[in-house]
Structure 1
Amino acid sequence: MQSQNTISVTGVWSRKGSLRRLLITACLLCCCLLGSLTGMAVAVPIEHQSFTEFLDSFYLEAAKKGITQDTYKRAFAGVTAPDATILEKAAYQPEFTTEIWDYLDARVNPRSVDDGRIMAGVYGELLQQVEEKFGVEAPVILAIWSMETSYGAALLRSSRLYYIPRALATLAYADKRRQKFARSQLIATLEIVQAGEVSLDQLTGSWAGAMGHTQFIPTSFLAYGVDMDGNGRRDIWNSIPDALATAANLLRSNKWRTGKPWGYEVVVPVRGAQLKGKTKTLAQWQKLGFKRPDGTPFEGLEDKAELLMIAGDNGPGFLMLRNFFVLKRYNNSDFYALAVGLLADQLAGRKKMAQAWPRPEGSLSVDEKFELQELLKRKGFYVGGVDGQIGDNSRKAIRAFQQRHGLQVDGQISRELLEVVRKKQ
């Protein structure tokens, strides 16, 4: 949709034009005429282009980076329109729209821990090789794999996968906030295609261009991709060795400190919240009254740590060390890095978080969310997986239960609802 102060070459002004506008229009018409006469491409502002015109014009940019016409044509064969669902996804990111406890409940829970332990058994030898080569501990690699694709399970759900060239072209064409990012990632994608790293029919991933088991964006793939299985291709889509090694290589390249923790959960002393965002050595934090919930001492008292209170002054505190910020190089979100750290701790056999999040009164813990889904499943209302994630299917089941038993039908979870579900047959 054009703004009221713009013009198309064949349209009319929606407001009275000025002499300056007439001159600009005349220049545009002359340039278009000259371009058509000489057969040369003319740069047209993206807001005046159709999607196919955008694809045609973007080839000029790709060609400057060494992309051949054959590669370009193959990558966009059959692509004629943007994907509207991409823009819907771009408007919603859980790291910025979800409370920290709900975010963690969906990612650090009994299922993700149990599945991770199974994967540790299946891929134990590979994980040991990756750890020895890159210096990144196996539980950390497993936690990233879980966070990104639920240990590869997400790659089996084709309805949630997008063809990467079309997805990035959609963002480059229609998402003003991500145009610069999308253009650079689209060029990198074409370089991947040209290098023959993956076949076009397998070049799928997230709406934002993240690919493979460990969800690498194209530029990061080019920078950190590893051929761990030695077949001559860096195949993070089909080769678990390549995918896990690539994740480890990113962390190592960003100065992962082998054998060091990502951080510590801490009990914040009275008025200690005033220091959030400050950086001190662990020895200094200790002198100020900060301690671990179980009283065990900090390791490496000379190490510097930043105080993070991700749920506000009334929530638990965390002293974040260097490795926490390395995890943020994978995904620049405090939520994400904390989830990886907490999951990795449990996969390594360490304790869960000791302190409670400041959940609203009546809300459910992660274990109670699992229980609610399990009970609804037993009673015939829920048909999805028991994973602690209260999504559309869970809410549909809750509404059906509420309607059956004469309750207010709102699809919302609460401790009161759980008590009713426990009692009803």
Structure 2
Amino acid sequence: MRFSPAPALAAAFFLALTVTQPVRADFHSCVAGLATEAEAHGVPAQVAEAATANLTFNPDVLQAERSQPEFTTPIWDYIAALVDDERVADGRAAIAKWGHWLNVAEQRYGVSGSVVAAIWGVESNFGQNFGNKPVLQSLASLVCSNSIRPSYYHREFLAAMQIVGEGNANPANFNGSWAGAFGNTQFMPSTFLRLAVDLDGDGRRDVINSVPDALGSTANYLHRSGWIPGLPWGFEVKVPPGYPARDSWRASKQPLAAWAGRGFTHINGAPLSGEGAYGLLLPAGPRGPAFLVSRNFNAIFSYNAAESYALAIALLSDRLRGHGPIVTPWPTDDPGLSRAGRREVQRLLIQHGYDIGGKIDAVLGHKTQEAISDFQRRSGLKPTGRASQSVLTALRSH
């Protein structure tokens, strides 16, 4: 479970702020105070002192806090990169390997194994990328600086110290995201303490080294978030012509019969039928794809409070079960790229003499975006820095 920001309006306000925030001058004394608090919460003094002795401030986490892709990336780019054929193939291979434990988790908690697998795929690419930022350093930097939610990170730091104190993580390799999320499915420390489970029965809760524990813990999280066994997360629908979409939204859930009465159908034209209440989700506005979503979509949303994130998980889970991609095109004339397409953009930029600031990995960092902007400018395109189909086409033709 990754960091979830404040409500959208506040997030938009803070994203507009400069990312250059001054670190507190007393960083080291701040960290010393955190160590003392950890001891008061039961962390052995020697452990607390050793874990915090060499912590340094990392300004990168402040910039990351204010540029989360769920809120700064067009939905068609976000979905294109997270729900691509490569991730579907990797996910089916992961399910084939770990299907027994996914079934155990589903039987125990009632949560669809394909949804748990989809979270695993999006959060760590099925265990291939846990994040490389030391959890304690990241959280201390966010606590002892002008971050958006210092009290939130304060609680998470103390929870992380408790995890270390209990022997469930070694500070030497306790790494994760900029916000302190860690392990196969990126649990925040406090979430780990509340909801992590020992699914493999070895006597330890370990979401880093034990895939079964990570899958079981994620299923338990969704179960505790209100997951209803057997209820679909939702599905793509065809909106009747002239429907006043502004009058409906995801939280206003109604029986399928009510939606059918307004002229809604499945995207293939089949009539709506079934139990449960659903709300209307229009992630790109009335001209884009439309979905009716249930309380199970809300449970996914709780994992990382962004509709784009929840939709990516939901759509990937469908693909892992053999369903096809969504039918309605996104309302853009310049579609987003899969990770394979992004890697090709990076390769071609290098061939054109650009420095992308790192390896070819489909991660579009600042240097890659600068290179794209310069190439767009030189090619007569609007310099957005966005890796899109038009950029890839232009790079191929030059």
User: TM range, normalised to the smaller chain?
Assistant: 0.7 to 0.9
Instruction: Supply the distance in 2 between the matched residues of 1:208 and 1:371 (Cα, whole angstroms).
Output: 28
Note if contact 1:384-1:393 (Cα within 8 Å) is conserved in structure 2. Answer: no
Matched residue, 1:227? 198
1:110 and 1:141 mapped to 2: Cα distance? 18
CA distance in 2 between partners of 1:251 and 1:324 (Å): 10
Q: CA deviation digits over 1:290-337, x for unaligned, max 9? A: 11111234342x411111212122222221101000111211111111
List per-residue Cα deviations over 1:218-277 (Å, max 9, x = no partner): 110011111122222111111111111111111112221122111121122213313222
Query: Residues 264 and 192 of structure 1: is their aligned pair in 2 closer, same or farther, counting only changes over 3 Å?
Result: same
Counterpart of 1:108? Answer: 83
C-alpha contact 1:372 1:421 (8 A) present in aligned 2: no
Aligned pairs for 1:106-145 (under 5 A) are 106-145=81-120
Aligned partners of 2:329, 2:158: CA distance in 1, in Å? 45
Matches within 5 A, 1:244-283: 244-269=215-240, 270-277=242-249, 278-283=252-257
Cα distance in 2 between the residues matched to 1:340 and 1:146: 9
* Cα displacement string for residues 152-202 of structure 1 (whole angstroms, at most 9, x for unaligned residues): 1113xxxx5111112111111103421110111111111111111122222
The corresponding residue for 1:54 is 30
Aligned to 2:282: 309
Alignment counterpart, residue 73 of structure 2, candidates 81, 88, 98: 98
For residues 170 and 138 of structure 1, the distance between their equivalents in structure 2, rounded to whole angstroms, comes to 36
Specify the SS of the correspondent of 2:291. strand
What residue in structure 1 maps to residue 7 of structure 2?
Answer: none
State the partner residue of 1:28: none
**Largest Rg, 1 or 2:** 1
Whole-angstrom distance in 2 between the partners of 1:172 and 1:214: 23
Report the 3-state secondary structure (helix = DSSP H, G, I; strand = E; otherwise coil) of the residue aligned with 2:303: coil
Is 1:352 the equivalent of 2:325?
yes
1:242 maps onto 2:213 in alignment: yes
| % identity of equivalent residues | 34
- The answer to whether residue 293 in structure 2 is matched with residue 323 in structure 1 is no
Deviation at 1:66, TM superposition (A): 2.4
SS in 2 for 1:295: coil
Per the TM alignment, residue 391 of structure 1 is displaced from its structure 2 partner at its CA by 5.4
**Counterpart residue identity of residue 54, structure 2:** G
* Equivalent pair of 1:136/1:252 in contact (CA under 8 Å): yes
Aligned residues: 367
1:306 is paired with a residue of what secondary structure?
A: strand
Task: Give the alignment's TM-score, normalised by structure 2.
Answer: 0.82
Q: Is 2:163–2:193's contact at 8 Å kept on the other side of the alignment?
A: yes
CA contact (8 A) 1:364 1:413 kept: no
Which residue of 2 is the match for residue 148 of structure 1? 123
- Supply the RMSD in Å over aligned alpha carbons: 3.0
Pairwise mapping of residues 65-214 of structure 1 onto structure 2 (< 5 A)? 65-79=41-55, 81-155=56-130, 160-214=131-185
Residues 197 and 216 of structure 2 are in contact (CA less than 8 Å); yes or no, is this contact kept in structure 1?
yes
Q: CA deviation at 1:58?
A: 2.8
What is the one-letter code of the residue matched to 2:110?
A: G
1:125-160 deviation digits (Å, cap 9, x = unpaired): 2222222222212211110001101111113xxxx5
Determine the structure 1 residue equivalent to 2:3: none
Distance 2:216 2:35 in 1: 33
Moved more, 197-206 or 324-333: 197-206
| Structure 1 match to 2:263 | 289
Partner of 2:19: none
**Quick check: 2:284–2:331 contact (8 Å CA) kept in 1?**
yes
Instruction: List gaps (5 residues or longer) in structure 2.
Output: 1-22, 353-357
CA contact (8 A) 2:337 2:389 kept: no
Distance 1:87 1:174 in 2: 9
Distance in 2 (alpha carbons) for counterparts of 1:407 and 1:147: 34
Once the two structures are superposed, residues 41-68 of structure 1 have per-residue CA deviations (whole angstroms, 9 ceiling, x without a partner) of xxxxxx9760111122234433442233
- Greater relative contact order (CA < 8 Å, ≥ 6 in sequence): 2
2:300 counterpart letter in structure 1: L
- Cα distance, 1:83–1:380 mapped onto 2, change above 3 Å: closer
1:274 maps to a residue whose letter is: R
- Please give the alpha-carbon distance, in whole angstroms, between the structure 2 residues aligned to 1:76 and 1:198: 14
Distance 2:180 2:215 in 1: 18
TM-score, normalising length: structure 1: 0.78
Unaligned runs of 5+ in 1: 1-46
Q: How has the CA–CA distance of structure 1 residues 393 and 345 changed in structure 2, closer, same or farther, with 3 Å as cutoff?
A: farther
Displacement after TM superposition at 1:380 (Å): 7.9
Over residues 353-397 of structure 1, what are the superposed CA-to-partner deviations in whole Å (9 max), with x where a residue is unaligned? Answer: 1101111x3x13546x8457558859983996586x655686688
Q: Specify whether residues 51 and 412 from structure 1 end up closer, same or farther in structure 2 by C-alpha distance, changes over 3 A only.
A: closer
Kept in 2, the 8 Å contact 1:163–1:205? The answer is: yes
Alpha-carbon spacing, 1:163–1:114, altered in 2? closer, same or farther (3 Å): same
Structure 1 position 381 matched with structure 2 position 351: yes
